[in-house]
Amino acid sequence: MSQYIAAIDQGTTSTRCMVFDHDGAVVAVGQKEHQQIFPRAGWVEHDPVEIWANVREVVGQALARADLTGADLAAVGLTNQRETTVVWDRTTGEPVYNAIVWQDTRTDRIVTELGELGGGADRYKEKVGLPLATYFAGPKVTWILDNIEGARERAERGDLLMGTIDSWLLWHMTGGTDGGQHITDVSNASRTMLMDYRTLAWDESIAADMRIPVSMLPEIRSNSEVYGEGRKAGALAGVTIAGSLGDQQAATFGQVCFSPGMAKNTYGTGNFLLLNTGEEAVSSKNGLLTTVCYKIGDRRPVYALEGSIAVTGSLVQWVRDNLRLIGGAGEIEAVARSVEDNGGAYFVPAFSGLFAPHWRSDARGALVGLTRYVNRGHLARAVLEATAYQTREVVEAMNADSGVDLTELRVDGGMVVNELLMQFQADVLGVDVVRPQIAETTALGAAYAAGLAVGFWADEDELTSQWAEDQRWSPAMDAGTRDRYYRKWQKAVARTLDWVDDDDDA
């Protein structure tokens, strides 16, 4: 029997392949960053051809580092940045335009116009669980069809396909122009604003409103089932492809949050907090998203409430690259530890507007509370604290929607190595924060989904038994200080609103 499972983790800033053994331990990793393209203020793009090339490269890296071949893999799973959208030619495989990234705000006018047809931002929420926002994939397709010469005519002839990054990669991985499968999974489909989350089918009336031909849409499949085999060329030739989840659902799966009431928060480019609500889809009244969490084979889907925060880890990246305040992301903790507190400075990183629970595309970033006392260390603290405060906003909304206060938060992602941030997060929330031994649970979740589909792991109980705690942070801040800090944060957020005017480009 093949001894390993591979997972491809295609993220916002890089692509990874991780190989896991039966105990869920990491055997090997290959990773490569890809270019971030910013044509105009508010626009964010990726080159989908570069991403596909990087997938092939990192798979080869990971297998070589473990001295393995495709024959050693029982299956491969995929996880991806979710709402990032590609439109490509079904005959040539060529994209008609760069991938429009989930952070991109160019569709603001499109979503406003859709809301003006009736219902405002909640026009489709009863069906899709999402507000009208630039975040989601459907309006990105509309923008491409409206703005790229000849694209709409080609789409209406049936020549073009659309999909989030999972669809783009699965199509190529299963053969591309030589019989590739045009498929997506329920978790990614639930982020398009085009899928009815109860029926798990495309809603043709919404597609018509967005002027998207249904012939472009991929077939919707579960998260854990055999999709096909790797294309004849390449390192995964003949390997079973059997799992696909959007990155945040994959992290929830990797954190084994299989029971209603369990929650995880991923600290990556942005932050994404998901609460398992079981087979009941809970409609949010407090600015959260109702989303499909996962569906295993023919079983009923499991739903989640999600709080999406656009800018957390990418704020550290911005401070490194744009301000040159630090030389590397890992330096920020030491710089922040050089002072006792934020010196009164608060940084609200509304670079793409504010996501949950505000959903204000008119907001823009602000650094407030500055005095001549504030120094580099205070700014570094303000950058880290912004992640913790934004997370508290989401947790309060989640507590209100679910009617049950969160008692423990499982955390994962690249930022959880920052112990200053993790302690401050526990302090601001007033609950324990727990990091698992495998902090990069996104790839692990994709591996788990693929492994379940082929019998590599027996069931969710076996996966749960593999989860192990690495470190726990308990609150050490008194309630009065916590509340005072948070009130200042809320004042800072108010300063960011209503910045974009109707005649602005972004």
Residue with token string 């299956």: 75
Q: Does residue 218 come out as left (phi exceeding 0), alpha (psi in the -120 to 50 range) or beta?
A: beta
Provide the token pair at 314: 């990418």
Q: Name residue 390's amino acid.
A: Q
**Residue 247 among known ligand-binding residues:** yes
**Residue 191 among known ligand-binding residues:** no
Residue with token string 């710089």: 335
**Residue 290 among known ligand-binding residues:** no
Closest by Cα among 414, 406, 415, 417 to 475: 406
**Residue 418 among known ligand-binding residues:** yes
Q: Residue 470, exposed/middle/buried by CB under 10 A (0-12, 13-18, 19+)? A: exposed
- How far apart are the C-alpha atoms of 227 and 183, rounded to whole Å? 9
**Residue 199 among known ligand-binding residues:** no
Q: Name residue 275's amino acid.
A: L
Helix, strand or coil for residue 383? helix
- How far apart are the C-alpha atoms of 305 and 310, rounded to whole Å? 16
Interaxial angle between packed helices 48-65 and 165-173, expressed in degrees from 0 to 180 and rounded to the nearest 10: 60
- How far apart are the C-alpha atoms of 485 and 369, rounded to whole Å? 12
Determine contact, residues 81/167, Cβ cutoff 8 Å.
no
Residue with token string 């869920």: 24
**Residue 346 among known ligand-binding residues:** no
Question: What DSSP line would sit under 210-272, residue for residue?
Answer: TT--GGGPPEEE-SEEEEEE--SSSTTTTPEEEEEEEHHHHHHHHTT--STT-EEEEESSSEE
**Residue 13 among known ligand-binding residues:** yes
- How far apart are the C-alpha atoms of 52 and 63, rounded to whole Å? 17
**Residue 269 among known ligand-binding residues:** yes
Return phi, psi of residue 312, to 5°.
Answer: -135, -80
**Residue 223 among known ligand-binding residues:** no
Helix, strand, coil shares, percent, the chain, to 5: 35, 25, 40
**Residue 82 among known ligand-binding residues:** yes
**Residue 313 among known ligand-binding residues:** yes
Interaxial angle between packed helices 108-116 and 137-147, expressed in degrees from 0 to 180 and rounded to the nearest 10: 110
Q: Name residue 247's amino acid.
A: D
Determine contact, residues 406/263, Cβ cutoff 8 Å.
yes
- How far apart are the C-alpha atoms of 353 and 441, rounded to whole Å? 28
Question: What DSSP line would sit under 183-196, residue for residue?
Answer: EEEHHHHTTTT-EE
**Residue 392 among known ligand-binding residues:** no
Binding-site residues for sn-glycerol 3-phosphate sit at 12, 82-83, 135, 247
Binding-site positions read 12-14, 16, 82-83, 135, 247-248, 269, 313, 317, 414, 418
Q: Which residue positions form the known binding site for ADP? A: 12, 16, 269, 313, 414, 418
Residue list for the binding site for glycerol: 82-83, 135, 247-248
Question: Annotated binding site for ATP: which residue ranges?
Answer: 12-14, 269, 313, 317, 414
